[in-house]
Amino acid sequence: MQAAEDGPRFDAPEGVNWSPRRRILVKGQPRSVSDEMPLWQRLLITLVTMLLVSVVAGFLWRSLFNTDIPSYLSGLVGGVTAVPMWEFLKWIDLR
């Protein structure tokens, strides 16, 4: 294992390129933008995830406090969910 400016790296097997931006191994040529999930799919999955998590948080809030969840708190829960989901979807390789 060797240290690099962009984080820890290791010696890749023959025929595999290291992709420091993604920190994953990619067989063959380095990744291109066309290998990523299309923008509309990422948006759709992220929005659905935000809505589902907000609804679940609302149900939990209602069961615990017997009142509606404040809208700003529901938005916060959805927003906090959206960021890791968006980043996760950028890591998915369509090859």
Tens of pLDDT, residue by residue over 28-62, are: 555 555 667 889 999 999 999 999 999 999 999 99
The C-alpha atoms of residue 28 and residue 13 are separated, in whole angstroms, by 11
Mean pLDDT of the chain: 79
Q: Do residues 78 and 56 lie in contact, with contact meaning Cβ atoms separated by under 8 Å?
A: no
Residues 6 or more apart whose Cβ sits within 8 Å of residue 10: 1, 2
Span of 52-61, 72-81, 85-94 with lowest mean pLDDT = 85-94
Cα–Cα distance for residue pair 59/75, rounded to 1 Å: 14
Whole-angstrom distance, CA of residue 1 vs CA of residue 4? 10
- pTM of the predicted structure, to 2 decimals: 0.62
Chain-centre distance of CA 37, in angstroms?
12
